[in-house]
A = this chain, B = another copy of it.
Amino acid sequence: MTHPTAAMLVIGDEILSGRTRDANMHYLAQQLTDHGISLKEVRVVSDDKAAIIAAVKTLSSHYETVFTSGGIGPTHDDITADCVAEAFGRHIDVRADAADLLGSYYAREGKDFNDARKRMARIPDGAVLIDNPVSIAPGFTVENVHVMAGVPSVFQAMVASVLPQLTGGAPVQSETLRLMRGEGDVAAPLGDIALRYPDLSIGSYPFQKDGVYGTNIVVRGTDPDLIAAAIKDLQSLV
């Protein structure tokens, strides 16, 4: 299976402190899989300038596409836009297009478009805005990095605008076979079957329910016939 590769960078002390449980990673993972893009790595870093810049540089050079989540709001701890600009050596300032979007939004809402809110219009030179239908403050794409909000409803809306523009491979399909046998009982024949299907990814996930051990075997690939053939072979383990 050769699919375009992607990585995700989650920015936020609130995730690392355990205060908030991240929801965006799981959502993006599912969306990318459906779109035929292979999520290869996720990193979660704190609201720390050096850490964010280093992660953006590494991930953007190793993977075809990078998605970031978090740190683009109006407060002192929102430093993602500036860090991404610095990672790519680009100038960043309040940009007219983003300021227009936000200015007219706050005018409609009868709210002050103050300096803090102007911070959300800081966009690196040459970046393309990502639409935010939920709360207007845009994300942006610079080179192969898509910078998106951390609030799940906004993150999801931004993923919806970015994904259709990306070229995916054939969508990855999967089938699961549930075995009421322990992993250790099926590991050897399972390994043999996995070797016979190099174009499929065959994973094994143990579970324990009401004191009984079982194993979910998940077969993933782009060719439904091949998946069906592997599942048929795997039935011998039942």
Contacts and interface: CB of A to CB of B under 8 A. Distances in A.
Given A75-B204, A111-B182, A174 B19 contact: yes
A184 B29 contact: no
A186 B78 CA distance: 14
Nearest to A45: B41
Given A26-B21, A26-B22, A116-B188, A203 B43 contact: no
Interface stretch (A32-40, A125-133, A159-167): A32-40
Interface in A18-34: 18-22, 25-33
B191 A114 contact: no
Contacts of A73: 183, 187, 204, 206
A116 B213 CA distance: 16
Contact of A32 (B13, B18, B21, B203): B18
B26 A18 contact: yes
A42 interface: yes
A220 interface: yes
Contacts of A26: 18, 21-22
Contacts of A33: 17-18
Cβ-closest 3 pairs across A and B? A116-B187, A18-B30, A18-B29
Interface of A: 13-22, 25-33, 38-47, 51, 73-77, 106, 111-112, 114-117, 119-120, 134-135, 151, 153, 172, 174, 182-188, 190-191, 194-195, 201-208, 213, 218, 220
Given A18-B33, A116-B188, 7 more contacts: A13-B203, A14-B205, A17-B39, A41-B43, A41-B46, A117-B184, A151-B206
